[in-house]
Amino acid sequence: MIVYVNNKAPISVTKGIAKELIIDIEPEINIRTTTTKGELIETFKQELDKHSKTYIYNIANSALIYTWVVYYNHPKPPKEHGLVTAKRWFEIKADYYFVPPPESVKVYSGEAQKRVVVDELKSSPEQLVNIIDNDEDIEKIIKTHAIWESPSSPNIITWLNYSARINYLKEAIDKRLQLDPFDIPALRYQQDFATGLEKVRVCEELRKLLQKYPKNPNFYYLSCRCIENEAKRDSAFMEGYKKWPYNAWLSNAVGYSYLQKENWKEAASCFVTASEGDQALQPLIVDNLKRINQLLGNKNLIDDKELQSNYLSFVDDVENSTLSDPNNVYYAYKLLEKGEIDDAVNYAQSDTNISGYVLRLAAVSKGASKSVINKAKALSNSSYINRSTIIPAIAFASRNNLPLTDFLDAYRNQFGTLADSVSKFIDLVKRNNINEAEKLTNIGDLRNKGEMSLLGVLLLGNKAPEKWKLYADKLLYICEKPYLGSETKTIMAWEKEFKKKYSY
């Protein structure tokens, strides 16, 4: 990015790296930021104070900036809550800006000192959105990343998902395609959310692209996605995969075809190939691989240590949390996993960033107390809703005869027509049409299979198919599921046969 401030020489800025600029004290300055290709990101006028001060320019609200305090020679450092903001422009005073503080400083005997550090929180989109408590800032950071995130960024798919939740996806896609007509993630989402005649037009444009560039495997992949018949579509994916075996998008598509048939080993092989290609798919691919590992209890597919993404790092933090670390509120999920439901809710109360999410999971856990259930009923329909809690929230509403509309709308905003599958699944389960409901668990990714299985278990309880119980337990991480009861921790006869079949 290039930043222009008044008549100063332009500054080249790289994502995640801060630059310093000393400017004259003026009543007002003009700021203009562009891409390296000259495309305008934003331009605005900013008033300044008459006195010398330090300001941070957070380009297009793209980062989450926070402060923390480091103490030297202090026996019991107090816990201080610093600044956390995604504002575009703000004044700040600190000792260290975007650099780590020294491990030690010179102090006199018996003296304690502290230093204030300002830095960028480099974390997953999920964590950033959950931490920001200002709706306007959340929208700004989502919009910025939905438009300007690189097509090959491992976070682009997540940011586009979030843009759908704030009804900004179409505008984001249109702007991305204006900047780059060959933006594969944008073209893919354009397909997913187009309906009726619009979808016909989109697919026709993609066919024209393939005719113009017949040797481009990405355009072949996108054209295949327009085939309505599932068997023919999968066959076309396989044909393209054989022709371009190292194309990430085709490898991923064939991997999903194998997932639908529950051919785990073949699916894993395709995902490993895809993981070596386009970084945009990386979070989805490594997530599927880790879930397959977890399901089969088989480390031979790929070492978990090689499965890296921002979200999986968060999952690792949760799984490795301990009671001995009082600052790690993620331990609430560990308590929930053990069936200590009230303790989990109470433990999470100290941090409003996760308290409501834990509560929504706790409220549908087996053995949840009336107190926990009543607390969950008091939550507004829009609060503490993310991918990990939306299915439990739907199940909770269904169990308690509460309206489902708000939750299904939230699901639709994030996953499009998959919301229709959820509604249909609930109806089929209530009518005890398990065979037809089972077909709907095969739509989407592995996490979706786990979530749909979880929904079935939460609606049917012990009457749910053993397969659903296994998938709800093994395909979801500790922070994505409620406590399902001790029986899910035992090796059932069905699971024994399953592991015997897939032990390779």
Q: pLDDT (tens digit, 9 = 90+) per residue, 413-451?
A: 777 667 788 889 999 999 999 999 999 988 878 899 999
* Cβ burial 391-419 (10 Å sphere, 16+ → b, else e): bbbbbbbbeeeeebebbbebbbbbbbebb
pLDDT at 504: 40
Number of other CB atoms surrounding residue 192 within 10 Å: 19
For helices 156-165 and 184-193, give the axis angle rounded to 10 degrees: 30
- 500 pLDDT band, cuts 50/70/90, is low
Rounded CA separation 159/185 (Å)? 11
Q: What is the mean pLDDT of residues 102-120?
A: 82
Kindly state the tokens that stand for 488: 């899910």
Point out the least confidently predicted range of 78-82, 235-239, 387-391.
Answer: 78-82
Q: What is the mean pLDDT of residues 144-169?
A: 90
Residue 107 pLDDT > 90, yes or no? no
Residue 498 pLDDT > 60, yes or no? no
Rounded CA separation 131/126 (Å)? 9
Q: pLDDT (tens digit, 9 = 90+) per residue, 461-477?
A: 999 999 999 999 999 99
pLDDT at 308: 63
Residue 491 pLDDT > 50, yes or no? no
Kindly state the tokens that stand for 222: 């996108």
pLDDT at 496: 56
Rounded CA separation 500/504 (Å)? 9
Residues in CB range of 56: below 8 A, 6 or more apart:
65, 89, 90, 92, 118
Residue 303 pLDDT > 80, yes or no? no
Amino acid at 318: V
pLDDT at 216: 95
456 in Cβ contact with 468 (< 8 Å): yes
Helix or strand (DSSP H, E) at 90: strand 89-91
Point out the least confidently predicted range of 5-14, 126-135, 281-290, 293-302.
Answer: 293-302
Point out the least confidently predicted range of 14-18, 253-257, 330-334.
Answer: 14-18
Region of 13 (left: φ > 0; alpha: ψ -120 to 50; beta: rest) is beta
User: Where does residue 256 rank: exposed (0-12), middle (13-18), buried (19+ CB within 10 A)?
Assistant: buried
Q: What is the mean pLDDT of residues 338-351?
A: 93
Rounded CA separation 37/22 (Å)? 25
pLDDT at 322: 83
What is the residue-averaged pLDDT of the chain?
87
pLDDT at 488: 55
Kindly state the tokens that stand for 157: 């798919």
Domain ranges of the chain: 2-105+112-122, 128-265, 362-501
Looking only at the bridges linking them, the beta strands covering 55-57 and 96-97 are unpaired
Q: What is the mean pLDDT of residues 201-210?
A: 94
Give me the count of residues in the chain.
504
Rounded CA separation 158/124 (Å)? 9
Kindly state the tokens that stand for 255: 């991997």
* Termini Cα distance of the chain: 49
In eight-state DSSP terms, residue 432 is: T
User: How much of the chain, in percent, has pLDDT values that exceed 90?
Assistant: 45
* Architecture of the domain whose range is 128-265: Alpha Horseshoe (1.25)
Residue 143 CA: distances (Å) to CA of 170, 171, 410, 422: 11, 9, 18, 28
pTM: 0.75
Q: pLDDT (tens digit, 9 = 90+) per residue, 45-73?
A: 988 876 778 889 999 989 889 888 888 87
Rounded CA separation 148/130 (Å)? 21
- Of residues 78, 75, 120, the one with CA closest to residue 97: 120
Amino acid at 328: N
Helix or strand (DSSP H, E) at 138: helix 135-148
Residue 501 pLDDT > 90, yes or no? no
Q: pLDDT (tens digit, 9 = 90+) per residue, 266-293?
A: 998 899 888 888 888 888 888 888 899 8
User: Where does residue 300 rank: exposed (0-12), middle (13-18), buried (19+ CB within 10 A)?
Assistant: exposed
Q: What is the mean pLDDT of residues 108-113?
A: 75
